[in-house]
Structure 1
């Protein structure tokens, strides 16, 4: 985030803050591009999802039914790898399938390994030629997909806290670390391999000791030689263990963290913006849980990307499904279902969303580590941090 922010948020204000910065900067051509719905898709497709159950629900309960209704000739199914626990095996399967020129068994991928798969030459090239609604996505966000990633939503990690018990929440990382040690048992985060909110906390602590040059390299590619710069951060994370809720034991996944907050077992934790907003909307998280962003550095966040395997059997349906996700209707579904932030130009979203997301810009977020760097981070955390 470009500047320090702290607000007590309503759901609408949280959406704006989580992507705080300036409004999306689209070129004149992007702003003028015409966004359209897809109404001529025909055939079947499978979406592979590597993530949490809320992302699966987005697809199965919102996007797919609406897409099939608009396209009666199309049928879409999903397969879920919860928390991405088998990403390495999926990448291996995708690699072998593409090399053998065989169908990998899925046609559209929603996963954090899109960047690595694309750089390995495993994904179809995409542009406004085969995904027309990409023309309505700001250039910076499109370019981050490197010609193979299809941006479709954005979110960031925020600091959630019990406002009944925490009257003055931390506003910087250093303040947060001091608060954790001064309030033992009242903070936790999920192990980073089981969810992005915990991974964001770990990443942010590590980044406290990583140079700007190294961090840029870690977010854009794989360089194992830089991992020594994580040592001080891992030492700090290890030292925090005695102050965690249930010393040395960490929740399994983003949802367990939200449950601990909702039941009052803890007073503070990092959470995904879309998940906490949705939980309060559905009543599973009480209204006394507030949320804000920290600074110096902020927690991470980014646009999420889809990818189409080069040897997918149903590329045409996958392309049209991706195009539908980037339609005004698709982006509105994402916003209403999981409080995901639009990635298309705000000139192409409904008026109520344009007002709500007026200050949202995915390009201002601090990106997460490159997928192979993140995998190493998770393994090193497992080895260095838990336990006494």
Structure 2
């Protein structure tokens, strides 16, 4: 899974407030969907055309939506689900900002795939419809609404504005036939890159995976994640606390691919370098990336995934409904279906996507648990149990921009 953060949307706040009075008068009977019985919502959804706007850069995810999800929506619910690919989540939020500024009440988006900074931006600018998750049977049956990874999104309270679709966790990927014992801490990684010059790199932030790697370095070089579980503005010595991270990244830079003179511009480029053998390791916020790439024949069969001994970053990604969605009933039914045990089990398979389930396993029936446990994750993928036992919470979104700008200033320019 890959969802890109956004920046600099607050500059439109004044423009949005100017049209707020127009938006206030655009409420329709659709608001009753937040309190209607589910049967009424299902009936209203029949025949609706639901546009799902999402990052479109992964073939497996696209195929899962087009070949598995969309036919099911049509056959079982009478909904025409159309996946609309976008370059990244920033484009989605920017388009919604434009529509809100223009007073467009009949929007083009019915479902959006978001998390992190883009969720906070959408929430802060009133781009989301309302508290809808309590209307979803599958949310009520299979989700722990009070769990931190569901109730908060990168530190921002969710408040029912988005429904969990899956979980992601940062992993490292290596070829065990070439490097049997990979580094499992940042200290070991520093030694490894010196012993294997040119064999390691990471995507340049603000690439989402590259930014996550830098945050992983932050946790290990500055004393753990606990100190950052408060707003960045409340830490008076934040710049000093970040200094060991910059020192570490600069210390390994001369031993990186191309001696650190340049960095891959994206995870896709990084993966190409690994696939060709030019570097010995890659990384992902998708724990099943390696298994999927092995199935495609892009990565060698000896590819394996591993975690750091101190754990790795993890987050939840969500689905939401824009404020001006044209087919809100259809969006509710579609999101509910995407959260069903059947859809989540299919999504878990690396042949489809390999995305970790958003559902609480103990809430599933024995038959549903068995079906999920029988999914072949492939040798390259770690078990769900190992991943869950080594999850670290993400930073709140206000840190992301600080770190990404800091990387440009303290690492890229030096």
| TM-score, length basis structure 2 | 0.73
Determine whether 1:109 maps to 2:100: no
In structure 2, relative to structure 1, the CA distance for the partners of 1:335 and 1:242 (3 Å cut) is same
TM-superposed CA distance for 1:91, in Å, is 3.0
Contact 1:51–1:111 (Cα < 8 Å) also in 2: no
Determine whether 1:150 maps to 2:150: no
Structure 2 portions without partners, runs of 5+: 1-41, 153-157, 376-382
TM-superposed CA distance for 1:83, in Å, is 4.4
Query: Residues of 2 paired with 1:80 and 1:379: CA distance?
Result: 28
Of the three residues 48, 70, 73, the one matched with 1:67 is 73
Contact 1:68–1:75 (Cα < 8 Å) also in 2: yes
Query: Residues of 2 paired with 1:60 and 1:149: CA distance?
Result: 22
Please, which moves more after superposition, 371-380 or 287-296?
A: 371-380
Residue number in structure 2 paired with 1:234 = 246
Query: Residues of 1 paired with 2:183 and 2:384: CA distance?
Result: 26
Query: Residues of 1 paired with 2:410 and 2:86: CA distance?
Result: 26
In structure 2, relative to structure 1, the CA distance for the partners of 1:308 and 1:381 (3 Å cut) is same
TM-superposed CA distance for 1:64, in Å, is 2.5
1:287-326 equivalences under 5 Å are: 287-296=301-310, 298-326=311-339
TM-superposed CA distance for 1:243, in Å, is 1.4
Residue number in structure 2 paired with 1:353 = 372
Query: Residues of 2 paired with 1:224 and 1:111: CA distance?
Result: 27
- The structure number with the bigger radius of gyration is 2
Query: Residues of 2 paired with 1:364 and 1:126: CA distance?
Result: 31
Determine whether 1:277 maps to 2:291: yes
In structure 2, relative to structure 1, the CA distance for the partners of 1:152 and 1:42 (3 Å cut) is same
| Number of residue pairs matched by the alignment | 343
Contact 1:210–1:230 (Cα < 8 Å) also in 2: no
In structure 2, relative to structure 1, the CA distance for the partners of 1:226 and 1:279 (3 Å cut) is farther
Query: Residues of 2 paired with 1:322 and 1:147: CA distance?
Result: 13
Residue number in structure 2 paired with 1:343 = 358
Contact 2:144–2:360 (Cα < 8 Å) also in 1: yes
Query: Residues of 2 paired with 1:81 and 1:359: CA distance?
Result: 33
Contact 1:155–1:274 (Cα < 8 Å) also in 2: no
Query: Residues of 2 paired with 1:256 and 1:69: CA distance?
Result: 39
1:41-120 equivalences under 5 Å are: 41-50=46-55, 52-54=57-59, 55-71=61-77, 73-84=78-89, 87=90, 90-95=92-97, 97-98=99-100, 100=103, 102-112=105-115, 113-120=118-125
TM-superposed CA distance for 1:350, in Å, is 5.2
SS at match of 1:359: helix
Contact 1:83–1:195 (Cα < 8 Å) also in 2: no
Contact 2:347–2:353 (Cα < 8 Å) also in 1: yes
Structure 1 portions without partners, runs of 5+: 1-37
C-alpha RMSD over aligned residues: 2.9
Residue number in structure 2 paired with 1:17 = none
Contact 1:118–1:149 (Cα < 8 Å) also in 2: no
| TM-score, length basis structure 1 | 0.78
Contact 1:150–1:305 (Cα < 8 Å) also in 2: yes
Query: Residues of 2 paired with 1:232 and 1:305: CA distance?
Result: 33
Please, which moves more after superposition, 52-61 or 151-160?
A: 52-61
